Structure 1
Amino acid sequence: MRVHLAALAVACTTLFACPATAHGPTPQKAELRTTIAASPDAVWKLAGDFAGIGAWHPLVRAVKATGGNAPGAERTLVLEKGEITDGLDTYDAATRSLSWRLNTENAEALPVSFYTTTLTVSGAGAGSAVVWNARFYRGDTSNFPPDELNDEAAVAAMTAFFEAGLEGLKAKVEGK
């Protein structure tokens, strides 16, 4: 009986110790804000068009979209290193907010494996405030991802994508 209990104790320790030492990816976050010298309605006219991101985001080379601004709509963004596909989750013109998620990943084009993101336009003095935030996972979700697909690469890529987009939106709306 002692041998069986000792073997059981070793087996249990081994079984439960492995998950404690393993880890997967943790969700990362990015949030950027900008102010635009235009009314929220003028900014929303561009930013609120789910299929229209190519008109103001300089990193988006082309957009193929279906479904308009209805939840469930999809768009494929053509980026420098490939395509990714987003699906629209929510669209609320009254609060000037839309949220979408990555449906089809391409870690070469954008080194993340999944994201959910929200873009919101609100009034800010005589202009507008635009907030773009996301929660996402790195491009390689294994325990030891290569540098180009790790958490830091994912944060850097999402931040750069948001920065370029917000700068492009601001320039387009302000006519610069």
Structure 2
Amino acid sequence: MKRRHFLAAAVLAALPGIALAHGPSRQKVTLTADVAADPAAVWEAIGNFQDMSWHPAVFSTEGTGGNDIDATRHLVLGQEGGPTIDEVLYKYDAAKMTYSYRITDVLVEVLPVTNYSSHLTVKPRAEGGSTVEWRGAFYRGYPNNDPPPELNDEAAVAAVTGVYQAGLDALVERFGAP
């Protein structure tokens, strides 16, 4: 009986330490942009998983599998020989103008995230034109407690927000604001 009480006391004593050592929480970013073009025109520009030339940070895209599930793409950022991101498509619906993908390989120095997934969707606006929604979920680049500033939650959210905003701004510039 004493042993059972001792074990119970040991477990209770450890609980505060367990609560403090939970690690990172999943972060989420959702950004939208309204553009003057109709959804079909916007989808024509961004709906091909193999072509991300519409994003100003992407120097080149190459991949396999087209828009089929498990298709892959390799992005080169900035310039020839620049940093890279590898991604895989896991959901694609041309009729609903949406696709979802995951990053399979990126250095945290390039994008300070892990376990990143994202969804890109084009929707019609009641007033005409389109709304492009880009949302993602991810963990910070440093999986343990006490991350360095460049790999913490704030850095991860800021980096993903910057990527999304640059892409959406390019679409507004290309298609015009409503």
TM-score, scaled relative to structure 2: 0.88
**Corresponding residue number in structure 2 for 1:172:** 174
Give me the whole-angstrom Cα distance separating, in 2, the residues matched to 1:107 and 1:72: 23
Give me the whole-angstrom Cα distance separating, in 2, the residues matched to 1:5 and 1:119: 54
Which runs of no fewer than 5 residues in structure 1 stay unpaired? none
Q: Deviations over 1:96-132 (max 9, x none)?
A: 0111111113111101012111111011122111111
Mark the CA change 1:59 to 1:155 in structure 2 (over 3 Å): closer, same or farther.
same
Mark the CA change 1:12 to 1:60 in structure 2 (over 3 Å): closer, same or farther.
same
Which runs of no fewer than 5 residues in structure 2 stay unpaired? none
Residue of structure 2 aligned with 1:74, choices 72, 79, 87: 72
Letter in 2 for 1:75: R
1:17 to partner: Cα distance: 4.2
When the two chains are superposed, the root-mean-square deviation of aligned CA atoms in Å is 1.8
**Corresponding residue number in structure 1 for 2:157:** 155
Q: Deviations over 1:54-73 (max 9, x none)?
A: x2101112212111111100
> SS at 2:121's partner residue?
strand
**Corresponding residue number in structure 2 for 1:97:** 98
Quote the sequence identity (%): 44
Give me the whole-angstrom Cα distance separating, in 2, the residues matched to 1:43 and 1:11: 60
1:19-34 correspondence runs (5 A):
19-34=18-33
Give me the whole-angstrom Cα distance separating, in 2, the residues matched to 1:60 and 1:38: 22
**Corresponding residue number in structure 1 for 2:38:** 39
Letter in 2 for 1:73: A
Q: Deviations over 1:62-93 (max 9, x none)?
A: 21211111110011112246212111011111
1:7 to partner: Cα distance: 3.6
Letter in 2 for 1:95: K
TM-score, scaled relative to structure 1: 0.89
Give me the whole-angstrom Cα distance separating, in 2, the residues matched to 1:131 and 1:161: 13
Mark the CA change 1:9 to 1:63 in structure 2 (over 3 Å): closer, same or farther.
same
Letter in 2 for 1:142: N
Are the counterparts in 2 of residues 106 and 113 from structure 1 also a CA contact under 8 Å?
Answer: no
Moved more, 114-123 or 164-173: 164-173
Give me the whole-angstrom Cα distance separating, in 2, the residues matched to 1:122 and 1:9: 55
Give me the whole-angstrom Cα distance separating, in 2, the residues matched to 1:118 and 1:5: 50
Q: Number of paired residues?
A: 172
Give me the whole-angstrom Cα distance separating, in 2, the residues matched to 1:149 and 1:29: 15
Q: Which has the higher helix share?
A: 1
